[in-house]
């Protein structure tokens, strides 16, 4: 057997060992409470959940700090003070509602910033690190209700720890440094060099599954409704998303594809949470 063949067999053997260890070291848990929208799916998390979550939150905070620092150096951080205040005002109405799904998230170190970019995009990293791009605001001309639907959706990915749930896919696929860096760039955040080989950061760069997207849709609408934002705006939001960009659709649609089925689900869910919205309005939310 030549050296190259020996190396190939050794690599395959190590991959099998990694997968065996991965399967044996997973936990099945519930990251969130169901809420009115009834998200009850059990999730498989690699390793010890609490430690894995802490590690991912710490690495996400570092990546967020790097992204925000880079935007600041380029004078791209919160370029319009009034717009940044608007985004934060909406997010700050949504954040208290997270206790419905997981009480501990109310105490996360939430941060909300606007980054100047033509990209139509927004995201929320694990641990509550939110970024909204000016392209989303300027090109789609979102109402407050529509913007709340975007932010609530992204927050829900973090609440459900969808990135942490994707870590086994990274290990199984053995995602390399180059793919991680490109993935991070596509989503609009910077990967610090010291995290270039991080499994957590690679998981963060992977797209969400359709099931994860559906969960974030439903939970995001409940967050919005409880905060006094009209949940029906989610339908017009995704209609605007689908119409934007012409031959080059917004980056956000690569992981959040609109469809007739999705819009139908949004309409159904919005009707389910309408009583929460009406109650919040009666209690003075948004006034």
Three-state SS string over 40-92 comes to CCCEEEECCHHHHHHHHHHHHHHHHHHHHHHHHHCCCECCCHHHHHHHHHHHH
Q: Lowest-confidence range among 20-34, 108-122, 157-171?
A: 20-34
Q: Lowest-confidence range among 96-110, 211-225, 229-243?
A: 229-243
Q: With a cut of 70, say whether residue 102 has pLDDT above it.
A: yes
The angle subtended at Cα 214 by Cα 127 and Cα 181, nearest 5°, is: 50
Report the distance separating Cα 205 and Cα 189, nearest Å. Answer: 9
- Termini Cα distance of the chain: 75
Q: What percent of the residues of the chain are helix, what percent strand, and what percent coil, each to the nearest 5?
A: 65, 10, 30
Residue pair 211/183 in contact by the 8 Å Cβ criterion:
no
Residue pair 170/199 in contact by the 8 Å Cβ criterion:
yes
Looking at beta carbons, which pairs linking 235-240 to residues 24 or more positions away fall under 8 Å?
235/263, 235/266, 235/267, 235/270, 236/146, 237/140, 237/142, 237/146, 237/149, 237/150, 238/262, 238/263, 238/266, 239/263, 240/140, 240/142, 240/146
pLDDT at position 23 is 47
Residue pair 220/156 in contact by the 8 Å Cβ criterion:
yes
Q: With a cut of 60, say whether residue 20 has pLDDT above it.
A: no
CA distances 157 to 14, 122, 129, 151, 161, Å, are 32, 12, 12, 10, 6
Which of the four pLDDT bands, split at 50, 70 and 90, describes residue 167? confident
Residues whose CB is less than 8 angstroms from the CB of residue 31 and which lie 6 or more positions away in sequence, other chains included: 43, 45, 102, 159, 160, 161
Chain Cα centroid distance, residue 244: 21
Q: Which whole number is the average pLDDT over 266-277? A: 97
Average pLDDT for the chain:
84
pLDDT at position 184 is 56
Which of the four pLDDT bands, split at 50, 70 and 90, describes residue 254? low
Residue bearing tokens 């300027």: 138
Neighbours of 42 (CB within 10 A): 8
pLDDT at position 233 is 97
pLDDT at position 46 is 77
Q: With a cut of 80, say whether residue 10 has pLDDT above it.
A: no
Report the distance separating Cα 228 and Cα 233, nearest Å. Answer: 12
Q: Lowest-confidence range among 125-134, 145-154, 224-233, 242-251?
A: 242-251
Which of the four pLDDT bands, split at 50, 70 and 90, describes residue 244? confident
Q: Which whole number is the average pLDDT over 150-165? A: 96
The candidate with the shortest Cα–Cα distance to 189, out of 98, 55, 69, 101, is 69
Q: With a cut of 60, say whether residue 74 has pLDDT above it.
A: yes
Would you please indicate which residues are annotated as catalytic (active-site) residues?
154
Which of the four pLDDT bands, split at 50, 70 and 90, describes residue 270? very high
pLDDT at position 4 is 44
pLDDT at position 12 is 46
pLDDT at position 14 is 45
Q: Lowest-confidence range among 25-29, 115-119, 141-145?
A: 25-29
Residue bearing tokens 């939150």: 57
pLDDT at position 16 is 44
Beta strands 43-46 and 122-125, pairing class = unpaired
């Amino acid at each position: 057997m030549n050296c190259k063949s020996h190396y190939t067999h050794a690599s395959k053997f190590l991959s099998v060992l990694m997968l065996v260890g991965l399967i044996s070291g997973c936990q099945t848990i519930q990251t969130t409470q169901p809420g009115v929208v009834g998200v009850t799916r059990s999730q498989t998390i690699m390793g010890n959940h609490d430690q894995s979550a802490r590690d991912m939150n710490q690495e996400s905070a570092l990546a967020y700090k790097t992204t925000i620092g880079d935007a600041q150096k380029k004078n791209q951080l919160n370029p319009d003070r009034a717009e940044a205040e608007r985004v934060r005002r909406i997010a700050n109405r949504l954040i208290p509602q997270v206790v419905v799904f997981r009480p501990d998230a109310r105490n996360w170190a939430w941060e909300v910033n606007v980054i100047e970019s033509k990209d139509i995009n927004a995201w929320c990293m694990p641990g509550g690190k939110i970024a909204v791009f000016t392209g989303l605001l300027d090109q789609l001309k979102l109402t407050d209700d529509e913007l709340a639907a975007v932010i609530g959706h992204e927050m829900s990915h973090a609440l459900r720890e969808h990135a942490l749930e994707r870590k086994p896919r990274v290990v199984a696929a053995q995602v390399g440094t180059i793919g991680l860096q490109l993935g991070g760039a596509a989503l609009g955040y910077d990967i610090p060099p010291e995290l270039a080989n991080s499994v957590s950061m690679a998981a963060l760069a992977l797209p969400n599954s359709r099931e994860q997207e559906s969960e974030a849709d439903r939970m995001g609408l409940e967050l919005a409704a409880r905060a006094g934002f009209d949940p029906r705006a989610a339908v017009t939001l995704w209609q605007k998303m689908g119409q934007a960009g012409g031959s080059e659709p917004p980056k956000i649609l690569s992981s959040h594809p609109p469809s007739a089925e999705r819009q139908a689900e949004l309409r159904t869910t919005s009707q389910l949470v309408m009583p929460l919205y009406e109650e919040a309005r009666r209690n003075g939310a948004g006034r």
